[in-house]
Structure formats: structure tokens, C-alpha cells
Amino acid sequence: MTLDIMIENGIIVTANGMFKANLAIDEGKIVGITKNTVFEKCDLHIDAKRKLILPGGIDTHTHFEFDFMGEKIRETWHQGTTSAAFGGTTTVVDFSVQKKGRPLMKTIETDVSRADALSAIDFSVHGCFTDFSNPEKILKEMKQIVDFGVASFKEFMIYKKQGWCIDDWNLYNILLKAAELNAIVGVHAENASIGESYMDKLVEEGKTSAKYHPVSKPNFVEAEAIQRAIILAENTGSKLYIVHMSTKEGLELVCNARKRGLPVYAETCPHYLTLTDETYARTDAINYICSPPLRKNEDIDALWKGLAAGSISIVGSDHVAFTSEQKKEHSKAFTDVPNGIAGVEARLPILYSEGVRKGRISLQRLVQISSTNASKLLGIYPKKGVIAPGSDADIVIFDPDTRKTLSADSFHMGTDYSIYEGLEVRGYPVVVLSKGKVIIEDGQYLGEAGDGSFLQRKLSEEEVATFEELDV
Ligand code: DUC
Ligand code: ZN
Ligand code: ZN
């Protein structure tokens, strides 16, 4: 038998441990992990001496080609997913946001076929309802969407002005239905009434600059919505996923819910782990406007501790690649600046450099929060998220010693600035394989638009339970 690829002499890191071994890959799958044998008959030998072998990253939170707050992202699915691959991510879960008056299923089909033609890596979407004019229709559609292979929904508890905000009754009913269908419901948790009224008040007072963005959404705005979502989920039996959690108060609520045995999971993002609200004093502060806003050092410390301890299960990028020109176009008041920060490429390097290198998380935890937990929670395990025979050969060969200064010029995403400009990181992906094909090597992209396929997802109680053993 001649294998396609052997990755030799690397240190394989999994969610549970690490060991030196050779990895055999054939027809897109991992077919063997061997301690001693070096397969002679093999089309390609890759020497991974002194490198870490990680399961390809799974980014649970991207917004490619997003149409939001009067602007459409110019970065294409292909550009965005190529950028993801350079950063060691081989699967993304994007958001299909319903167009009012149209079934969500239609948006999902359109988005999936667009991504199918363009994506460099495998992908899925979360379904987001925004049209609540016929609640019965939503509940019917949820089954159709889950049957299609989209086992997760995300609802916005804010963005009333954009017409996206869900009320508690609809959220409660979606949670009830999700419990019945074995789906998971994500929430963007911010109290809409307070957050948006606060914005209006500040603007009326002439406080329109970006430094008022965090003022309009203090920590309790997020915490209150998290608390409410947890109570609703608890009373429906649904799994709940708090996306882009940014506050120490939110963390405490999730931690308490988990201690009570509730299936409540949290995601945070690299920007909430690295940047503070002092950033909003910069001259280019509008480029950092995202929701929830950047917080304080005490939140950053709490989030890292929550990640290490297991109360936060996943890190997604919340990648939104508006250009500085698009941000500027709407900069008369901070309330109109399209929200979002681009970070799909930086996610894994930042987690390694700021997390593992600085002693905040272990290498195993890095694998769990960047890949394995997402595959288990979102229903793509063991196809994705693990280095094991039979799994897709989505592999990152990671050089722990590479030093790199992050910069918009060296990233591959479709925007002109980076919030991490000038940040020195230690450790970077050097080779990335997607389904057994080398797509990144020597700083070159070797894949093609459309290499990625839609992943049908189905949640498994068993898999969710196994990652909960890792998260305490
Ligand atoms: N938050 C952002 O910062 N951008 C897009 C949507 C969101 O919830
Ligand atoms: Zn959000
Ligand atoms: Zn988002």
C-alpha cells in the first residue's frame, strides 16, 4: 500500500495528551498513528521535527460576506477562508441571518451554495431568525433546518434598530423547540432596552465619539441578558451557547449554571482576551467598535481563568472584516459604525502565544478550546476536531518557536487594518492540511476556491458529555 502523506517526528497534541508519533494520511483521512514505523511507500514525507501537530482549528464564529449596519463585507468567502487556513483553521461555522419576509431555510441554502463554490475549507452555518411575524412558521422551519444538517441557531438579544432583536417569548419558544429537536441555541446576550436607550441618550448629549461605545454597554448589560437566557434555557431543557462572552460577571453566571449541571456553554473571542476599552481612546478607535465592547483588564484575567478552568469552552473569532473606509463612512456617531473586528487568522496564534506561552492555558486546553470542544458541541465529532484514525486529515503543523509580528500587511484577510497590528507572537502554523491536502506551506496558499464542503451537523448527547468531562 502506498500512502498519500506521512507526517514524521512531530509531537501530536490532542485534547487529552501529547506524544511523539508519525501520522499516516490517505485519501483525505488519518489512517494511522505510529510511534516507530516510518512508512517507506508514501507519496509525500513531511518532516515535523520540533513541531507540534494540532487538529485543524474550528472557528465557531465567522461572518463572511456579512451585510450589516448599512455595509456589506467586501472580503469574499474564498479570501476569508484562505485567511482562516493561514492561521491554522480548517473548519468555520458562519451565520446565516434570515432576510425579513423570506424563510430562513432559503438564506441557508443561498449561503451554503455560495460557500460551497468559494470556501477554501469545510464549513457550516448557524441559523439566525430575525422575522418574528409568524412564530408558528419559525417552529416548523426549525425542524426542516435541523434535518438539513444545521443543528444550531443563534439569536440576537440586541440590535432592535437593525430589526434583528428577539423578544423573550420568541426566544423561549425557540429554546423549547430546540430542546425537542436536540439542537443548540446561541445567543448574542446584551440587554437591548438598556444598551440601545443608553446609546440614544449619549448621542442626544452630543457624546458621539467611539470612547462612548463601552459607556453605552456596561458589563451588566451583557450579564443581565446572559442571566435571562440561562433562566429561559433552564426552563425549557435546551442547550444554550453564549457567544462572544466578554465580562467577568457573565463568566460567573455561566460558571454557576454549569455547577448546577445545566447544559450552558460559553464562547469568548481573542479580542476580549487581549484588548481593553482603553483602545477606544485611540485616534482610530472606530476600527475597534464591536459588540459587546472591549472591556477591562480584570475581565481579561477572569476570561483566561475561565478558559483554563473549563467554564468557557470555546474561542471563536467573531470575524467581521469591515475595511477602515467602511467604518469611517458611518463614523459621525459611534452608534452608526458597523460593528465588528477581523480576527479569523489570528485566533490560533494568539491563543498559543498569549495563552500557552504565557502559562495561562495548557497545550491540551488549547486544542480543546480551538477545535475539539467545538466539534463535540456542534455535532461534527469525530470527523473534525481530533487526530485519530478515521477522522478527516485536517492538520496544523505548528512551529512553537517561530516569532512573528502581526500586521495587516502579512495577514491574508480582506481588510486593510488589523486590531493586532504590531503584536509579537511566538508560535505559528507552518503547514496546514485540509482533508489530506496541503493547503498552506512556506507561506503559500496551495488550495482552490471550492475545496471546502458543507458539513451536515447532528448533535450527539454522548459527545457533548465527553467534552463536559474535560470542562469542569
Ligand atoms: N458583533 C459584532 O461586533 N459584529 C457583528 C455582530 C455582532 O454581534
Ligand atoms: Zn453577536
Ligand atoms: Zn458575531
How does pLDDT run across 328-378, given as a tens digit for each residue?
A: 999 999 999 999 999 999 999 999 999 999 999 999 999 999 999 999 999
Q: Which residues contact 70 (CB under 8 A, 6 or more apart)?
A: 330, 336, 338
Rounded average pLDDT over 54-78: 98
CB-based neighbours (< 5 A) of ligand 2, an ion: 188
Closest CA to ligand 1's atom 4: 340
All cell numbers assigned to 228: 435571562
Among residues 69, 97, 95, the alpha carbon closest in space to that of 327 is found at 69
pLDDT at 465: 78
User: Are 31 and 24 a contacting pair, CB within 8 Å?
Assistant: yes
Q: β-pairing, 18-26 with 57-62?
A: unpaired
User: Would you say 383 and 391 are in contact if contact means Cβ atoms under 8 Å apart?
Assistant: yes
Among the bound ligands, name the one nearest to the CA of residue 338. 1
Q: What is the pTM of this model?
A: 0.98
Q: Is 321 close to ligand 1, i.e. is its CB under 6 Å away? A: no
Closest by alpha carbon to 334, among 165, 198, 220? 198
Instruction: Identify the residue whose cell numbers are 432592535.
Output: 160
Task: Tell me which residues have their CB within 5 A of the ion that is ligand 3.
Answer: 318
Ligand closest to the CA atom of residue 126: 3
Cα–Cα distance between 376 and 367 in angstroms, integer? 12
Q: Assess whether the C-beta atom of 246 lies below 6 angstroms from ligand 1.
A: no
Count other C-beta atoms under 10 Å from residue 72's C-beta: 11
Instruction: Give just the sign of the alpha carbon dihedral 277, 281, 286, 288.
Output: negative
- Please tell me if the CB atom of residue 243 comes closer than 6 angstroms to any atom of ligand 1: no
DSSP state of 414: S
Ligand 1 center from residue 211 Cα (angstroms): 18
CA 373, CA 289: separation in Å to the nearest integer? 28
- By residue count, the chain amounts to 472
Separation in Å, CA 378 to CA 99, 136, 276, 467: 24, 25, 30, 11
Region 246-259 average pLDDT: 97
Task: Calculate how far, in angstroms, residue 94's C-alpha sits from the geometric centre of ligand 3.
Answer: 9
- 465 three-class SS: helix
Find the 187 Cα to ligand 3 centroid distance in Å.
10
CA 93 to ligand 3 center in whole angstroms: 11
- Is the beta carbon of 290 within 6 A of some atom in ligand 1? yes
Residue 467: how many CA atoms within 13 Å on its side-chain side? 35
Q: How far is the CA of 409 from the centre of ligand 1 (A)?
A: 24
Q: What is the pLDDT at residue 462?
A: 83
**With 80 as the cut, is the pLDDT of residue 14 above it?**
yes
Asked whether 339 lines ligand 1 (CB < 6 A), one says yes
Q: Determine whether the shortest distance from the Cβ of 327 to ligand 1 is under 6 A.
A: no
Residue 182, exposed/middle/buried by CB under 10 A (0-12, 13-18, 19+)? middle
Helices 168-181 and 219-234: crossing angle, nearest 10°?
A: 50
Q: For ligand 1, say whether the CB of 62 is within 6 Å of any of its atoms.
A: no
Angle formed at CA 354 by CA 356 and CA 272, multiple of 5 degrees: 125
Q: Is the CB of 317 within 6 Å of ligand 1? A: no
Nearest residue by C-alpha to atom 5 in ligand 1: 340
Q: Of all atoms in ligand 1, which is nearest to the CA of residue 290?
A: 3
318, 335, 337, 344: residue to mutate for ligand 1 pocket, most atoms within 8 A of CB:
318
Percent of the chain at pLDDT > 70 equals: 98
**Average pLDDT over the chain, rounded to an integer:** 97
| Cα-to-centroid distance, 436 and ligand 2 (Å) | 33
For residue 470, pLDDT over 70 is answered with no
Q: What pLDDT is stored for residue 472 in this prediction?
A: 46
Looking at the DSSP bridge assignments, the partners of residue 404 are 425
Which of 86, 236, 266 is closest to 175 using CA atoms?
236
The atom of ligand 1 lying closest to the CA of 158 is 8
Owner of C-alpha cell 482562516: 84
Whole-number pLDDT of residue 366: 98
Cα of 320 from ligand 1 centre, angstroms: 7
**Per-residue pLDDT tens digits for 392-418:** 999 999 999 999 999 999 999 999 999
pLDDT tier at 41, thresholds 50, 70, 90:
confident
- Whether residue 455 has pLDDT greater than 90: yes
Q: Bridge-partner residues for 97, per DSSP?
A: 128
End-to-end CA distance of the chain, in Å?
A: 44
